[in-house]
Chains A and B, each alone.
Chain A
Amino acid sequence: MRHPWHKTRTRERSSRRRRFIAAILGTAAVAAISYGATNWVVGLNGGSSGEGQSANVSNLSISAVASPAASNLLYPGGNGDVVVSISNPNSFPVTITAVDLPTNSTYATGYTTSALTTTQTGCLAATPSGVTWSFATGTSGTSHALTNPLTVAASGQANNPLVVTMSNDASMASTAPAACENTYFSMPSLTGVTATGGAATASTSPATDSWTS
């Protein structure tokens, strides 16, 4: 016959075992839930060149802006500044580290004013104007690292849009037509950017940057 305390010890061991197993199972459950909550499907958004998180990550947009006016103007055989405005629609900052360029035979269109509404006769992309992105090559989509990463603040925050002057990042061929004197240019569209979203200190607008190769 077993002593009563023997049964008690047995029940205590069983109880501890159940608590232990329960702890293991609970931990595994929490880990599984946590893993599922921190991983989202990442896909490609149409028209973009990088990865976007479906439904939660939106593409940047880059538009032309006349102010501040480029102080480094284009002349045949030389380089000049380009001014852009970068908008970030996401709820988090986005940092740009590189731009992707079209080919060096993709030319800018000339306009009579900074509003870029009336084209300049004799200075069109098809003429050609001779104006391209600096360091563009014969291959479309080449990536060119920025000298300094640019961080565009989250949507609704200061410095978004971010206005940036890209120093010497436009080039004019020595054979540019005379019609391209005193002309404003709409640069060819970039083919993409290298950018990531996440915590970062936003750049201050207006900023200055460039790519040098």
Chain B
Amino acid sequence: MFSAALTHRILHVLMLALALSLATTAAAHADWGVGLTANSAAEASSGPGPTIPTSVTSACTSPTATTAKVSWSPVTNATSYAIWESTNSATSGYTSVATGVIGITWTSGNLATGTYWFEVSAAIGTNWTSATSTATAQLTVLVAACA
């Protein structure tokens, strides 16, 4: 029916087509989807809370003003600070007068005549807070004067 040469040529083409088919099929199935077993686990860790602010000082903004400026050194990772004020003594009677303070200084409003001490605490986020610092030196406010 066909010549020997033609027969061989047809066979050659068919074998080539088969080889291509096998290669394509193999390539299509060389990668299989792989899943994950249940209850995988991973580990993270948190750092320490904020340390107590240091080098806390207070000073009159001017000799004739009745406002005070409180300053301190920055605390690593702190996101805000709180200011505490006492009019009784350096060691007791403190109340919070400012929270969420950004930066490392705070200036009060006009202070009534009297003596003042200030302390500062640091915060990371809402609930991680430090203890309060040591008190500043006494600040005396007089009528239209501050020292």
Contact = CB atoms under 8 A, between A and B. Distances in A.
Range class of the B interface residue count: 35 or more
B41 A63 contact: yes
Contact of B34 (A20, A60, A74): A60
Contacts, number: 219
B42 A178 contact: no
Contacts of B127: 76, 175-178
Interface in B30-47: 30-47
B15 interface: yes
A80 B47 CA distance: 10
Contact of B18 (A34, A57, A73, A182): A34
B30 A198 contact: yes
Interface in A1-53: 13, 16-17, 19-20, 23-24, 27, 30-31, 34-35, 38-40, 42, 44-45, 47-53
Contacts of B43: 64-66, 70, 82-84, 114, 116, 184-187
A58 B126 CA distance: 45
B7 interface: yes
Interface stretch (B20-28, B59-67, B85-93, B136-144): B20-28
Interface residues of A, number: 82
Nearest to A193: B36
Nearest to B14: A27
A70 B45 contact: yes
Contact of B39 (A49, A174, A189): A189
Contacts of B48: 181-182
A73 B46 contact: yes
Contacts of A69: 45
A165 B5 CA distance: 65
Contacts of B46: 73-75, 80, 110, 131, 172, 176, 180-185
B25 A38 contact: yes
A16 B2 contact: yes
B77 interface: yes
Contacts of A44: 35
Contact of B32 (A42, A84, A185): A42
Contacts of A49: 35-36
Contacts of B1: 13, 16-17, 20
B45 A185 contact: yes
Given A27-B14, A34-B25, A195 B34 contact: yes
Given A39-B29, A61-B36, A63-B42, 20 more contacts: A27-B15, A31-B18, A31-B21, A44-B35, A49-B36, A53-B33, A61-B37, A69-B45, A74-B45, A76-B127, A84-B42, A90-B34, A94-B34, A174-B125, A178-B128, A183-B46, A186-B43, A190-B40, A193-B34, A196-B33
Interface of B: 1-4, 7, 10-11, 14-15, 18, 21-22, 25-26, 29-49, 77, 79, 124-129
